[in-house]
Amino acid sequence: MADGFSGKIKQKLIEAKQKWAENGRLLTGQADHAHENRLPPGQREVKDWPVLDLGITPHVGTDDFRLTIDGEVENPVTLDFGQLLDLPPFMAKNDIHCVTSWSRYDNQWQGVSALSLAGLVKPTSDARHVLFTAHDGYTTNVRIDQFLDDDVLLAHHWEDAPLTEEHGGPVRVIIPKLYFWKSAKWVRQITFSKIDKPGFWEVRGYHNNADPWTEERYG
């Protein structure tokens, strides 16, 4: 009974978000190509960190955590949490922007940079895209140049504390230059690919590129 009820809630949430895409909700028709303003068009600053998901939070402890990086790479790996922590540490401070219109400034992260991960697995020259798979089955996709930007990381700490489950812990992707649905929570697999494979929201009307400053919310 509980699973059925949760499934109905999830489906209603998905349908509501799809309606947003169909109706162009929150679009202002503005663009800030030069990033003259810190706040992208149509966004509002918040001080808290809203939790947005489909009502399903996978429970993945650090003992059970595994991250597989595969696809178009010379050295595919599967890392446990300890092995991830053994990689060079990376700290970043950046803003995040949710497609639902909130933005939060100056988030402090600790984790492992995407560039360090790429150095470990060595993507081949055929790799053009990066696909993320989460423990709840969620998927999303970016171009390889978007993933290999110098501010992208896999975060395990936020504001000097372990990343909580509700925010994607123990490990989530952080791609600050794109709308936040591209920053997959509860990540378990990163696949370098020759071809693009639109993810969960991308096949439901959300933009494949997701640039906040040009309002690529839907498309």
**pLDDT confidence of residue 166:** 95
Q: For the whole model, what pTM was predicted?
A: 0.94
Q: Could you tell me the pLDDT band of residue 2, with boundaries at 50, 70 and 90?
A: very low
Q: Phi/psi class of residue 120: alpha, beta or left (left: φ > 0; alpha: ψ in -120 to 50)?
A: alpha
Q: What is the pLDDT of residues 129-143, one digit of tens each?
A: 999 999 999 999 999
Task: Return phi, psi of residue 202, to 5°.
Answer: -65, -35
Distances (CA, A) of 158 to 12, 72, 81, 165: 30, 30, 16, 12
Mean pLDDT rounded to a whole number for the chain: 94
Query: What is the model's pLDDT at position 10?
Result: 80
190/133 Cα distance (integer angstroms): 7
Q: Tell which CATH architecture fits domain 2-214.
A: Alpha-Beta Complex (3.90)
> Which pLDDT band holds residue 193 (cuts at 50, 70, 90)?
very high
d(CA 156, CA 61): 12
Write out pLDDT tens, residues 78-129: 999 999 999 999 999 999 999 999 999 999 999 999 999 999 999 999 999 9
* 133 contacts 189 by C-beta, under 8 angstroms: yes
Confidence class of residue 12 from pLDDT cuts 50, 70 and 90? confident
Q: What is the mean pLDDT of residues 143-159?
A: 98
How does strand 66-71 pair with strand 187-193? parallel
pLDDT in tens, 25-77: 999 999 999 999 999 999 999 999 999 777 678 999 999 999 999 999 999 99
1 has pLDDT over 50: no
Cβ 131 vs Cβ 188: under 8 Å: no
Residue 140 to residue 102: CA distance in whole angstroms: 20
CA pair distance 97, 181, nearest whole angstrom: 9
